[in-house]
Structure 1
Amino acid sequence: MEKSKKIMKSIIPHLEDPVVKNAVKVKARVIAYATEFLREQGFIELLPTIVSPLTDPLNHEVFNVRFNYYGTVYQLTQSMIFHKQLAVTAFERIFIVSPNIRLETEEKKDSGRHLFEFTQIDLEMKGAKREDVMDLIERLLLYVISGVKQKCREELECLGSSVKIPTMPFKKVRYLDALQTYGKDFEKILSEKSTEPFWLIDIPIEGREFYDKLSVDGRTLLDMDLILPQGYGEVLSGGEREHEYEQILKRMEYKGTSLEDFKWYLQIAEDERLVPSAGCGFGVERLTRYICSLPHVSLTRLFPKVPGMDWI
């Protein structure tokens, strides 16, 4: 009972907060403009997968949730990476407005960027290269921000936000160059110094999962992160995908990934049913936070789930 009272004392002021109300209205426009843009570019919208026998293993610590349903062990979807790879065997361009559950550890509650229930717009393109995705996202971001600035003038004014429409093409920064110049906190330093979004590219093999495609140097991956300026940090991750069975096996063995957990995915790869593709996913709440100049992503949702905190 005491815990319920505590939650209610937190949620009612949140629901009545004009900052939250304006941010939620802006977020609705962000989703509308992003999906409108993708449809105009020939993308087919798919519905999200909420539970699955396998999901993204991620490359950082989270609490995993599994349950047995009539003999099959399901997991909460942490991202639809494998479903996207399969989907482009049916359609050449797909996207999903995808709710994700990632039970992050408590120390991330004050990052300003983390929720354990959030929404990504995921997309994938058959036969595409990393540069194709980067070009698409740059144009999408300009389309979204331009539309929001036009249609949400009152909301942005109430929030004290004067978000800038970025200039194309975005700057590209190699991961290892940034690490050498600025040290391990380079992403935070560069984000705080920047006035425009920029790409972080060629992330070392240790930093990502087995599905990101290895470059010819054997050390870095053909992937990228989009980093927002003014300290808002990473908003998007993506890249080209491994699709050849033997290469996937090598990468899984290198990462120490359980082959048993991914046996049906491996069977599809062995049958040569996967195709070359590239894609990404960007956080709707993180992008909205940046556009609205907010201190925390929790202000973009009526019922936010912050790691380590009690919410409805």
Structure 2
Amino acid sequence: MNLDSIDDWVRTQYTSQVTPDLDGNEVTLFGWVQEVRDLGGLRFIILQDREGTVQVTIPKKRVSPEVLTKSDALQKRFSLGIKGTVKKTNMTKRGVEVVPSDIKIFSTATEQLPIDITGKTPANIEARLDARPLDLTLESSLAAFKIQHVALQAIRSFLFDKNFMEAHSPRIIASATEGGAELFCIDYFGQKAYLAQSPQLYKEELTLSFENVFEVGPFFRAEESHTRRHLSEFTSVDVEMAFANADNVMELLEQTINHTVSVVKEKCQTELTLLDHTLEVPTLPLRRLTYTQVLEDLKAQGVDIPWGEDITTDAFRVLGKIYPGFYFITDWPTHAKAFYIKPQDNNPQISEGFDLMYGYIELTSGGTRICDKTQLIERLKEKGLNPDSFKMHLQAFDYGMPPHAGWAIGLERLTMILTGIKNIREVTLYPRDRIRLTP
């Protein structure tokens, strides 16, 4: 088959912009063949682009021989350009069709596609991920990532309005950020280095200069868990705020969530309808539960967790049934939180750390940070970490470290909440987990 060049063709509309109001107008569309149907003297092409689909109707006796010949060769996922006239009709759901005057075929596709691109025959998640570039063309996949795009845009604009500066910290680091064993070790020119688990230490240091700072970027954890909500590479939205404590950043966080959900609900109704998901804007302030209260609530449901122990996934599922929406868990035991979370002044066994939950899903972790160097060294030792490994970070505390606090949102988990999708891999472009390194 001879393929065409784009030449001087320029898109005039996306498919979603082709409406009955354009009846009689000439348009130039680009996209891919989703379906081809023959019905006697008519041939129908469903043309798909990132904004949706439109029906291209070919009356075989009324189009040019060149257009008819081109349409004879079309198969699913062929890349096309269409020039044609918009026609109002009551024969399509959208009340519109395009009758082509010219067709360009830019590229072809294999006849046997690995998954059904119409979504009428669902494939399992592994088959979808193996063919991820194709899977992302499904309308449901596009809808999820449009929602993610709008959500991230809303978060960024909200933080900019709150006078936060965006930063970009290194991903190759010399020592563990969080401690623990969930680290990917790499060879850095013969020296041992690690992939960053979070930008935590850098964003704390940036409060010395930027004061209010945020970062959006990928981070890495050698996560052994293989569940519907864990990844080895994930996108984190991190915030750090100078001259602030946990209460201040909790208020900022709930405002951020409220704003983001409101914007998504307003701008993504088409996508939410396609995903059959109803989004409720949370009422502020969000519920605040202490760690101790949570243990009491669980005990009343027959789940007994001794004070000081971590809350298990099964226990969180029970808690999620009691509190199905957004809620904070505050006043965690100090030993259960990272070394940089500040213990309470009047009770050092309890920290100023918090989690923001949605049902049983942990969405955000945050808290007041330690700003006293001596106390931070003590906490490092308590967590079994060597202060010498953190000397470059500790020296920043000699330069007037302000009181500060912050949090981090997992973008993929937030997308699960916003879309109603239950598997985090479906809202990650190319997921990485314990068993998947491709595509």
Please confirm whether the aligned pair reaches a TM-score higher than 0.5, indicating the same fold: yes
Q: How many Å separate the matches in 1 of 2:143 and 2:382? A: 46
Structure 1 residue 171 corresponds to structure 2 residue 290: no
Cα distance between partner residues in 1 of 2:128 and 2:266: 37
Assess, with a 3 A threshold, how the Cα gap between structure 1 residues 82 and 156 changes in structure 2: closer, same or farther: same
Shift of 1:172: 0.8
For the residue of structure 2 that corresponds to 1:109, the secondary structure is: coil
Matching residue within 248, 256, 264 for 1:132:
248
Q: Equivalents in 1 of 2:356, 2:146: separation in Å?
A: 24
C-alpha displacement at 1:27, in angstroms?
0.5
| 2:340 paired residue number | 211
Paired with 1:250 and 1:119, the residues of 2 have a C-alpha distance of 31
How has the CA–CA distance of structure 1 residues 63 and 123 changed in structure 2, closer, same or farther, with 3 Å as cutoff?
closer
- Partner of 1:179, secondary structure, is helix
- Measure, in 2, the Cα distance between the counterparts of 1:221 and 1:73: 33
Match of residue 421, structure 2, among 275, 278, 294:
294
The gaps in structure 1 that reach 5 residues or longer are: 1-5
Is structure 2 residue 206 aligned with structure 1 residue 87?
yes
2:289 counterpart SS class:
strand
**Secondary structure of the corresponding residue to residue 103 of structure 1:** coil
Comparing both structures, which one devotes a greater share of its residues to strand? 2
Counterpart of 1:228 in structure 2 is 358
Cα shift at 1:268: 2.9
Choose which of 287, 304, 309 in structure 1 pairs with 2:431.
Answer: 304
Q: Residue 152 of structure 1 aligns with which residue? A: 268
Following the alignment from structure 2 to structure 1, what is the Cα–Cα distance between the partners of residues 290 and 364? 16
Question: Partner of 1:33 in structure 2?
Answer: 154
Q: Distance in 1 between matches of 2:129 and 2:339?
A: 43
Alignment match of 1:143 (pick from 259, 264, 274): 259
Deviation sequence 1:129-165 (CA, Å, 0-9, x none): 1111111111111111111111111111111110110
Aligned residues: 300
2:104 is matched with none
The structure showing larger relative contact order (alpha-carbon pairs under 8 Å, at least 6 residues apart) is: 1
Once the two structures are superposed, residues 3-50 of structure 1 have per-residue CA deviations (whole angstroms, 9 ceiling, x without a partner) of: xxx898443553344332211111011100000000001101112422
**Separation in 2 of the partners of 1:8 and 1:115?**
14
Match of 1:77 in 2: 196
Separation in 1, partners of 2:135, 2:182: 27
Aligned-partner Cα distance in 2 for 1:63–1:91? 28
1:3 aligned partner = none
Matched residues in 2 for 1:265 and 1:8: separation? Answer: 39
Amino acid of the structure 1 residue aligned with 2:354? M
Using structure 2 for the length normalisation, give the TM-score: 0.65
Distance 1:72 1:89 in 2: 29
Whole-angstrom distance in 2 between the partners of 1:204 and 1:256: 17
| 8 Å contact from structure 1 (residues 55, 80) kept in 2 | no
Query: Structure 1 236/257 Cα, relative in aligned 2: closer, same or farther at 3 Å?
Result: same
Q: Distance in 2 between matches of 1:306 and 1:66?
A: 17
Matched, 1:51 2:168: no
More helix by share: 1
The match for 2:406 among 274, 279, 283 is: 279
Aligned residue in 1 for 2:186: 66
Cα offset for 1:72? 5.4
Which secondary structure does the structure 1 equivalent of 2:406 belong to?
strand
1:7/1:310 contact within 8 Å kept: no
Name the % identity. Answer: 26
The alignment partner of 2:237 has SS state of strand
Give the distance between the partners of 1:300 and 1:261, measured in 2 at CA.
Answer: 36
Query: Do 2:183 and 2:220's aligned partners in 1 also have CA atoms closer than 8 Å?
Result: no
Q: How far apart are the structure 1 equivalents of 2:377 and 2:339?
A: 9
Alpha carbons 2:179, 2:385 under 8 Å: kept: no
Q: Secondary structure at the match of 1:189?
A: helix
Cα deviation digits, residues 111-132 of structure 1 (max 9, x gap): x211111111111110101111
2:226 to 109, 133, 158: 109
The corresponding residue for 2:391 is 263
Distance 1:252 1:48 in 2: 22
Which residue identity lines up with residue 358 of structure 2 in the other structure? Answer: L
Moved more, 201-210 or 78-87: 201-210
How far apart are residue 180 of structure 1 and its match? 4.1
2-structure distance, mates of 1:215, 1:65: 34
Supply the distance in 2 between the matched residues of 1:13 and 1:284 (Cα, whole angstroms).
23
Give the stretch that moved more between structures: 35-44 or 93-102: 93-102
Q: CA RMSD in A?
A: 2.1
CA distance in 2, matches of 1:7, 1:293: 18
**Whole-angstrom distance in 2 between the partners of 1:242 and 1:72:** 30
Normalising by structure 1, report the TM-score.
Answer: 0.89
User: Does the CA-based 8 Å contact 1:43-1:95 persist in structure 2?
Assistant: yes
> Following the alignment from structure 2 to structure 1, what is the Cα–Cα distance between the partners of residues 129 and 396?
48
Question: Runs of 4+ in structure 1 displaced over 6 angstroms?
Answer: none
Alpha-carbon spacing, 1:167–1:267, altered in 2? closer, same or farther (3 Å):
same
Provide closer, same or farther for how the CA distance between residues 193 and 273 of structure 1 changes in structure 2, counting only shifts above 3 A.
same
Q: Secondary structure of the equivalent of 1:138?
A: helix
